[in-house]
Structure 1
C-alpha cells in the first residue's frame, strides 16, 4: 500500500510542469556553460591578439561588439571570459557550501556551548561588510584567482553554516530524529543520514544565488586589480579596460556588464525555480 502511494507521488511529481523560472534560468545557464567549455568554437578571434589597425572600432559586421584600445575583439573576449567567470561561480562557492553545511549540521545538532561560540563567530563576521573582508584577505595574500577563492572561502562558509544550523535545530526535534536516538543510532548517523538531507534545502537555494554574487564579486575584484589579472579575458578586467573610454568607446565596458547581468539572472532564476520545485516536493 505504502509503496503504491510513494510510486504515485513520484509519478505525479515527474508529470508536473517545471517552474518557468527554472526553465528560463536553466536555458541561460546551459548557454553559459556551452560558452565556458567551448569558447574557441564560438569566438571569431583570438581574445588576446592585438590588431593595431583596428583600435577602438565600434560594433560592425566584422567586429560585432567592437574592439578595445589594443584592437582586441570585444566579442571574443566576452565569450572567453565565460570560462573564468563560470569557474569563479563554482570554485568560489562550492567549498564554502560543503564546509559550511557540515559545520552547521554539527553545531545545530550539538547546541549548547558550541552553538554559543558559533553565534559569536557569526556576529563577528557579520559586523563587517562581506566585500570589505574579502578585499582585506586578498590584499594580505596578494592578487590572483587562487587567493580570491581562499578569501571568499574564509568568509563565505559562515552564511551556509548559519542556514543549516537553524534548519537542523528544527529537524532534530521531530519524531524521526527522536526515533533514531531511541534505536541507538550514533550522532554522526543521525546528522548525516537523516538530519542533513532534510535540512540542506535552504543552503542549496542560497548556493545558487551565491554563484551569481560570486560572479559579481569576482568581476569587482578583477576591476580593482585583485582578481583575474590582465591580459586575461574576464568581465571585470574588461570593464576596467574600458573605464577611460566610456564616452568614446562605450562598448568595451557595456557588453561585459550585460554578460554579468544575464549570467547572474540565470543563477537567480534557477535558484527560484529549484526553491519552488522543492517546496512542491515537500
Structure 2
C-alpha cells in the first residue's frame, strides 16, 4: 500500500529561529536566505488509503496544517507528553466536529493530555466546541501494535533521557524522535527498514537527545536504506550538515515528503 510521509515540523522544542538568538542559523531562517533552517516543532503526517494519520501535535500544528493543506485527520499517535508534542491537540477541534478523532498514547502520555485539556475530556459541563477526540491507551508491552485503516503501527521503545517513550514503526519506515539512546530490545524491531527518521539535536552531547555523531552511529547499526534526521536545533545548518553526511543520510526539513510502502495490517483490530 502506497503512503506519503510529510514532515510537518523538524525543529527542537524551542523552534528555529529560536527566540532572542542572533546566530547564523537563526538569522538565515528569519531573513529567508536558507529556508530549510526554519524549523517548526517536530511531527509528521502520514497519508495512505485516503486517510491522514498524525504522529504528535505540537504547538505549531495550526500553522503546519494550513501550510500543508491538512483538511482532515483520521487518527493521532503520540510519542510522549512533552509540550512540543501535545500542545496542538486543541487545534484538532474543527477537524473533529464531523467525526471524533481517536488518539493513541501510552498511559503516562494520555494522562498528561487529559490533564492539560481537562475541559475537553470532562464528562459534565463540557464546552460545546471542545475537540471531539477519543483517548485510547496503548500497552507498553513489547510488540504492541495499533492497526489503523489497513496499516499496522508498532510501538518501538525509545530512551529519552531517564524516560522511556514511544517510537513508531509503520511498514518499512520508523519514526524515532526525542531519542537519547535505544534499548537493545528495540533493535530487532527495526530490521529491514527503507526509511529511518531519528533525532539529531546538535553536535555536542545532550542528556536527553541524540547528537549528530551518535545518530550517524545508530543509522550505521540499524542499516536502513535511507535515513533522515529530525528534531534539529539551531546548532546545525541544513546545507552545511548535509554536505558532511553520507549519501544515504539527509537532514529533513519542514514540508519534505517521502513516498514509501506501508504494510497492510493482517487483522482489523483497532480503528478501521
- Is the TM-score greater than 0.5? no
More strand by share: 2
Higher relative contact order (CA 8 A, sep 6+): 1
**Which structure: larger Rg?**
1
Per the normalisation by structure 2, the TM-score is 0.21
Higher helix share: 1
